[in-house]
Amino acid sequence: MTRRAAPPARAGARPVCMITHSYYEEDPRVRREAEAVAASGRPVDVLALRRPGDRSRETIAGVDVRRLDVQRHQGASLGTYFVEYLDFFVRAMLAAAADHRRRRFALVQVHTLPDFLVYAALPLRLVGVPILLDLHEAMPEFFRVRFPRAAGPLAYRALELQESASLAIADAVITVNDALGERLLRRGVPPAKLTIVRNSPALARFDPGAHPARPFMADGTLRLVYAGALSPTYELDVALRALVALRVRRPGLAVTLDLYGRDFDEVPLVELARDLGLADAVRFRGRIPVEAVPAALAAADVGLAPTRRNPFTDYSLSTKIHEYLAMAKPVVATRLPMVERTFAGGEVATYTAGDPDDLAGAVLSLVDEPTAREARVARGLVRVRELAWERESVAYLALVESLAGRREWAQPAG
């Protein structure tokens, strides 16, 4: 991982404080935004979770990261989630308030989930520091899918109310795609308060020219890859069953699947691969640093983005699709609303959610139709360049400067 000192701060540029209930190194969106602000000459302090063995403080790519002593319990019970959220909320509120006395923040940006984490910035808000809320996901829909037994009408309404209260306290709101933006407008967020900052990768990092090129099936093996969380949101069980379908439909085709990502033991994928007779074909590589992902994708033939369809994922668009396309790899993704909307030019091969045979058919179409495959890749490169972080960051940085400038103009640095 790149660790270097922050670039020289601009004269009079006060720091931005970011609060994120995530492991900083593992959250590409938070890292992109924090590094962009730091590169602009404005100091950035991040309050984040702390993994076992991590240092409590560290400078990463010019960003000062302070890790609070709270860990994630993904896949745990609702009670465990609540205690974890509350613990981080209290620690983040106290840390931000204490750091402000020394650092004199110009802006605090809060990343969700949870939405109510924005209230950890309330002490700063009371002394005039503006708040930027970065709404990564729709929390009411997340809760309904993650905890279906507890997500009755009253609970769902309570989550909507906490979302509305969180949006109200923020001076400005950003979110990751048009679908979530339209949802927020329906929830009453004024258009002038909302900015879409798409969750797209930096092409400087995902550069196919920086890695050895692999011609499609160069060694006679079809190498599939998935890089992301091994959680129930992503229907990797369907992907494994699609491998079985590929073996049935094309017995002579050698196929492997490399899975890169943290496994929270929510889905017994290792056992499923063994039970399906795929132990020799599926390789569990574990989590790798963000910096190592491009090389892993460059070594593959097809990128998979299998996502379980539900009310939560109907608002989502996997960043993995952008990353695969940026690395000039053909992609097979679940046919979700935002996939079809974003890649309407046929850049991505899609399949019906939950259907391993359809997934297998989409993969075979890439194998059997090389001209169409290369056309998809070419169109995909054009599309991801249109949506790249290098473009999205312009609007984001303009918003940060507008909000931070209010504080600096009101109280010039002495």
Q: Which pLDDT tens digit goes with each residue over 289-335?
A: 888 999 999 999 999 999 999 999 999 999 999 999 999 999 999 99
The yes-or-no verdict on residue 2 having pLDDT over 50 is no
Q: Tell me the per-residue pLDDT of 52-101, one tens digit each, with 9 for 90 and over.
A: 999 999 999 999 999 999 988 776 677 888 899 999 999 999 999 999 99
Q: Tell me the per-residue pLDDT of 141-160, one tens digit each, with 9 for 90 and over.
A: 888 888 877 778 888 889 89
- Please indicate, yes or no, if residue 1 is contained in any of the structural domains: no
The residue-averaged pLDDT of 368-395 equals 95
> Does one domain contain both 28 and 77?
yes
Count other C-beta atoms under 10 Å from residue 27's C-beta: 20
> Does one domain contain both 404 and 327?
no
CA 61 – CA 315 distance, rounded (Å): 31
Helix 356-368 / helix 370-387 crossing angle, nearest 10 deg: 100
Average pLDDT value for the chain:
91
The yes-or-no verdict on residue 5 having pLDDT over 60 is no
CA 51 – CA 327 distance, rounded (Å): 30
Q: How far is CA 317 from CA 56, 113, 241, 322, in A?
A: 32, 16, 23, 9
SS3 at position 272: helix
- Please indicate, yes or no, if residue 3 is contained in any of the structural domains: no
> Does one domain contain both 234 and 186?
no
- Please indicate, yes or no, if residue 300 is contained in any of the structural domains: yes
- Partner residues linked to 195 by β-bridges: 174
Count other C-beta atoms under 10 Å from residue 30's C-beta: 24
> Does one domain contain both 149 and 248?
no
Cα–Cα nearest to 35, from 405, 400, 402 = 400
> Does one domain contain both 266 and 175?
no
- Please indicate, yes or no, if residue 7 is contained in any of the structural domains: no
> Does one domain contain both 304 and 178?
no
Residues 244 and 356 sit within 8 Å (Cβ to Cβ): yes
> Does one domain contain both 171 and 225?
no
Of the listed ranges 6-10, 49-53, 55-59, 206-210, the one predicted with least confidence: 6-10
> Does one domain contain both 99 and 183?
yes
| pTM recorded for the entire structure | 0.88
Q: What angle do CA 169, 173, 175 make, to 5 degrees?
A: 140
> Does one domain contain both 393 and 379?
no
Distance of CA 89 to the CA centre of its chain: 21
Domain count, the chain: 2
Q: Which domain holds residue 339?
A: 208-387
> Does one domain contain both 174 and 267?
no
- 341: confidence class by pLDDT, cuts 50, 70, 90: very high
Q: Tell me the per-residue pLDDT of 76-88, one tens digit each, with 9 for 90 and over.
A: 677 888 899 999 9
The yes-or-no verdict on residue 132 having pLDDT over 50 is yes
CATH number (domain holding residue 45): 3.40.50.2000
Percent of the chain with pLDDT over 70: 94
The yes-or-no verdict on residue 360 having pLDDT over 50 is yes
- Please indicate, yes or no, if residue 8 is contained in any of the structural domains: no
The residue-averaged pLDDT of 199-213 equals 91
- Please indicate, yes or no, if residue 311 is contained in any of the structural domains: yes
- Where in 269-393 does DSSP place strands (E)? 282-286, 302-305, 331-334, 349-351
The per-residue pLDDT for 411 is: 57
> Does one domain contain both 280 and 403?
no
CA 29 – CA 230 distance, rounded (Å): 19
> Does one domain contain both 363 and 406?
no
Q: What is the DSSP letter of 228?
A: S
